[in-house]
Structure formats: structure tokens, C-alpha cells
Amino acid sequence: MRRWMSEVKLESGSRPSPAANATSFHLQPALMLVVRQLTKSYPSGGRTLTVLRDVSFTIPDGAFVAIVGPSGSGKTTLLGLLAGLDTPTAGSVLLDGAELGALSEDARAKLRGEKVGFVFQSFQLIPTLTAAENIAVPLELRGVRNAGVRARSLLDRIGLADRADHLPAQLSGGEQQRVALARAFANAPRVLFADEPTGNLDSATGDRIIQLLEELNRESGTTIVLVTHDTALASRAKRIIRLSDGAVVDDRELAA
């Protein structure tokens, strides 16, 4: 299925339209995520605090989805579970056909390395590495050649070519955020999770990041799932899932 999708993409330069799909044997795009009755609870002072309850949805391969909701509604918790960074109290996540709950921690880490990019709300850059190294080192660990060149070209794309040799502490919050995004893009993930990717950016820089995300989605077919408070960013997604108090209260496609 994946192969078929990429072949069609190479020929047409874009994803097949629903009409093109209907004439083929493949009536539905593959599902990148299948989320079933996901619940996450924490023990809290002798009681149980449930921060996600019975969350279910599917996300097709190549989708561009925004998760929105008030502070504390469970967005970051949900993103961590979808990416296999955290384990649920109940329910399941199928990522590109793999049941995350059935995998060992090592197997989950391997799957993440192969298919997942993640941008944390708090960036999590390595403080002792420069901006370029923060991007290049994970690539080198995966055996990518010319990792340094690739890192610098990504920095150029996000407007930080002249900050390549700065340590994270020498970068502004917004600059660190852009480096974290470039690092997540760098290994061309099948699915990119981003927690508030424009949270620390002025509107012009935020707009550039949105364009990068859109390009990645359109040109590489990367599935994008982002959490945002930014209504400008949410409105550029093709679908919005709204959480309130740990539950999905709205899930709608946006008109193109």
C-alpha cells in the first residue's frame, strides 16, 4: 500500500484524489494511526486522576491533523501516547500497523527511529551540542551520510544558517524551537508529531514554520499531527480534533 501510494505520488506529483482512489483497487488510504479507547490515569493523593478518557479515532496516512483544547485537557499526554513515548492505562494505539502496546520498549524506540519525528513543547535540544550538531548527530546515529551538510541545509531552510554553530543556550526560545523542528524533519519521518510548534514564534516566523509543515505533508506525504493553541495554524490543518477534560468533544474535517 505504502509503495503504491508513493508510486502514484511520483507520477502525479501529488496525492491521488478520492476519485482516482475509487477507480483503483484501494478504496481507502492506509491508516497511519488507529486509536482505540485510550485512557490515561495517574494516582494522585490516594485518588485516581484520569487525564484522558476513552479516546478513539483513526488518522489516515498523509493526513494533516491539529489537536486543540484548553490547557490541561490532555493534548501533550495524547501526543506522547500516539508516538509511543508513553504507555496508556487502557486502550491501544496502532502506528502504521504496529500495535505499540505489544512492543518492548526497545522495539518501540526502533520504530520511532524509523518512522516518527517528535517536537516537544519544551524543545529538548542537547545543551552541549551546537544547533547543527543537534540536527546532525541523530542522523549520524542512523548511518546517514553527509549528515552535517544536511543539517546545515535544513538550518538554512528555517532561516538559521548563521546560527549553526550556536549552542542552545545562545539561541532565543523561537530559534531553539526551529532547531527542534528541523531535527524532527531531518530523518524524513512517516509521521511527525509536534507539540505547539509555533508557540514561541512571532507571526512571520510561525507562518514560515507552517509552510514547512505543509510542504513536508504535501511533498513527502508525511502524516502530521500537531497540538496547537494557534488558531492560524489550526485552520491550516485539514482536520481538527478538539479535546476537553481528556475526551474528544469535536472532530471535523476543514474545507480545503
Ligand X SMILES: Nc1ncnc2c1ncn2[C@@H]1O[C@H](COP(=O)(O)OP(=O)(O)OP(=O)(O)O)[C@@H](O)[C@H]1O
Q: How far is the CB of 199 from Mg ion (least distance, A)?
A: 9
Give whichever of 20 and 49 is closer to ligand X, judged by the CB atom.
49
- Interatomic CA distance for residues 240 and 97, integer angstroms: 23
Q: How far is the CB of 52 from ligand X (least distance, A)?
A: 8
Binding track, positions 173-202, relative to Mg ion; x by CB under 5 A: ------------------------------
Q: How far is the CB of 195 from Mg ion (least distance, A)?
A: 6
42 binds, among ligand X, Mg ion, none (CB under 5 to 8 A by kind): ligand X
The single residue among 73, 76, 223, 228 that binds Mg ion, judged by CB under 5 A, is: 76
150 binds, among ligand X, Mg ion, none (CB under 5 to 8 A by kind): none
Please report, as ranges, the residues that interact with ligand X according to CB under 6 A. 42, 49, 51, 69, 71-77, 121
- Interatomic CA distance for residues 138 and 256, integer angstroms: 35
Q: How far is the CB of 74 from ligand X (least distance, A)?
A: 4
Give whichever of 76 and 223 is closer to Mg ion, judged by the CB atom.
76
Give whichever of 4 and 42 is closer to ligand X, judged by the CB atom.
42
- Is-contact 212 178, C-beta < 8 A? no
Give whichever of 85 and 144 is closer to Mg ion, judged by the CB atom.
85
CA distances from 33 to 44, 154, 158, 166, 208 (A): 30, 27, 28, 37, 27
User: Which residues does 84 contact at the CB level (< 8 Å), separation at least 6?
Assistant: 93, 95, 100, 103, 108, 111, 112, 116
- Interatomic CA distance for residues 254 and 121, integer angstroms: 25
Q: With DSSP H G I counted as helix, E B as strand and the rest as coil, what are the percentages for the chain, rounded to 5?
A: 40, 25, 30
Of residues 33 through 52, those in contact with Mg ion by CB under 5 A are: none
Helices 203-220/173-186 angle, 10° precision = 0
Alpha carbon of residue 104 to chain centroid: 22
Q: Which of 15, 95, 140 is nearest to 151 (CA)?
A: 140
Q: How far is the CB of 86 from ligand X (least distance, A)?
A: 9
Give whichever of 217 and 228 is closer to ligand X, judged by the CB atom.
228
Q: Total residues contacting Mg ion (rule CB under 5 A)?
A: 1
Binding site for Mg ion (CB under 5 A): 76
